[in-house]
Amino acid sequence: MVKFLMNDSSPYFVGFEEDDYAEEKDINNPDFFPYLNMPYDVPFVPTPEVVVRRMLQLANVRRGEHVYDLGCGDGRIVIMAAREFGAQAACIEIRKDLYEQTLRRVKDLGLEDRVRVIYGNFFEEDLSDADVVTMYLLTSVNERIKPKLERELKPGVRVVSHDFEMPGWKPLIVEDLYEEWRSHKVYLYKIPGLEIPIPVGELKNIIKNVKLDEEHMKVLELIDGNRSIEEISNKTQLTMRAVREIISDLIKQGLISEVKVIK
């Protein structure tokens, strides 16, 4: 039997044998995948549900936010995000068997309107709509995906990684979890930067001359050309996604000229 080492403290066993002895293989070693003759960057190892739940809690997933999981596995992350946290969730899976398995689970649970299962390569899919990104990859794969995340994700998007850190990023939280026979690490990151909506003129004059619903008015009253969308979100208790949608409406109404993005 071949024993795979995800890290120094987490051995995994898979179901095939080679001769009559155990041989250790470190999946962080670049020679690992040619040994397995696998076309994939990461083998499928399911994240325990207690860890999944904590990942989503640390990312502070809120109702209506969009969660993207890089690799579906058996769909447990996106399913929990939709069922327990009220999110709209999507996962991207390159293995057809896992894609089909997740698709069946989503249909069986009646979650087709809340979970989208994408058959493809997450290096090639557009991630710009995400509010939260979850991953259980390898440090080497995290390093390869990092430029894409930095390029596509909006400021304030949370990225949460199981066991493997993102090289060069400073985590907001690193939490150790203990589950049955091994420990887990969860890393929480946030995409840096600011999105600053710019009003078309003097705010007081704008407010006097418009009729908006309560949420739109709350957001408009906080727009001064200095406050970021994240600050407005914190003050109104709306999600950043909801604030962006309101600002998009205000732009259409000619009340906001633009949103400056500073990364």
More confident position, 179 or 19 = 179
> In this predicted structure, what is the pLDDT of residue 125?
97
Q: What topology does CATH give the domain 49-190?
A: Rossmann fold (3.40.50)
- What's the pLDDT at 45? 86
First and final CA of the chain: distance in angstroms? 48
In this model, does residue 6 exceed pLDDT 70? no
Q: Which tokens in the block code for residue 37?
A: 């003759």
The mean pLDDT value for 217-223 works out to 94
How high is the pLDDT of residue 40?
54
Domain 194-262 has CATH 1.10.10: yes
Report how far Cα 5 is from the mean position of its chain's Cα atoms: 25
Instruction: Please say if the pLDDT value at position 38 is more than 60.
Output: no
76 close to 22: Cβ distance less than 8 angstroms: no
Instruction: Tell me which long-range contacts 228-231 makes (C-beta under 8 A, separation of at least 24).
Output: 228/155, 228/194, 228/195, 228/196, 229/155, 229/156, 229/194, 229/195, 229/196, 229/197, 229/259, 230/155, 230/156, 230/194, 230/195
Confidence of residue 169 (pLDDT cuts 50, 70, 90): very high
Residue-wise pLDDT tens digits, 8-36: 333 333 333 333 333 444 444 434 333 33
Q: Where are the domains of the chain?
A: 2-36, 49-190, 194-262
On the question of pLDDT at 111 being above 60, the answer is yes
pLDDT at 55 over 70: yes
CB 91 within 8 A of CB 71: yes
* Mean pLDDT, rounded, of the chain: 86
Render the burial of 179-200: b for 16+ CB within 10 Å, e for the rest. eeeeebbbbbbbbebbbbbebe
Tell me which residue of 139, 128, 133, 247 sits closest to 190, measured CA to CA.
133
Ramachandran angles phi, psi of 165, nearest 5°: -80, 165
Banded pLDDT at 148 (limits 50, 70, 90)? very high
